[in-house]
């Protein structure tokens, strides 16, 4: 199955989906050295984003979160790709400066279409998600 989306940061990647209905703050929410979600009470607390196709509704928090994403990339702990229901500037800038392929505004409900652990390919050159 293919789902069309809007291109935020170009590139191609694939990985296992890590799906969450909670907004994510990279500053204080994810450890930039390990890629582990450290935000207390977050649905992904204790899980690792490294190499995943990270699927979540939108970002939240400080603009410094964009630089946390860059640090994750430099440490080899960044998500392989990001899919948002609606991108916001912090996550979009972070994906762009980090070279993380990113799409948003998918034509289908991503939380129904993409199951946690599914193999997902993000082609952010063509604007498609391949399941």
Tokens 């762009």 -> residue: 96
Which SS3 state, helix, strand or coil, does residue 93 take?
A: helix
> Which residues have C-beta within 8 Å of that of residue 80, sequence separation ≥ 6?
13, 14, 15, 51, 52, 53, 100, 101, 122
Q: Distance of CA 79 to CAs 24, 37, 53, 107, 118, Å? A: 13, 12, 6, 22, 15
- Told to judge if 98 belongs to the known catalytic residues of this protein, a careful annotator would answer no
CA gap 24, 72 in Å, rounded? 14
Catalytic residue from among 62, 66, 98, 112: 62
Q: Write out the catalytic residue numbers.
A: 62
């Amino acid at each position: 199955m293919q789902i069309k989306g809007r291109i935020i940061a170009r590139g191609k990647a694939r990985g296992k989906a890590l799906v969450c209905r909670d907004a994510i703050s990279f500053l204080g929410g994810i450890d930039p050295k390990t890629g582990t979600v450290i935000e207390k009470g977050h649905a992904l607390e204790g899980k690792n984003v490294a190499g995943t196709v990270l699927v979540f509704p939108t970002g939240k928090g400080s603009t410094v979160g964009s630089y946390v994403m860059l640090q994750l990339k430099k440490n080899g702990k960044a998500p392989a790709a990001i899919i948002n229901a609606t991108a916001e500037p912090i996550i979009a800038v972070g994906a762009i400066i980090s070279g993380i392929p990113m799409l948003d505004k998918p034509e289908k409900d991503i939380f129904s279409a993409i199951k946690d652990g599914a193999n997902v390919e993000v082609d952010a050159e063509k604007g498609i998600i391949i399941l």
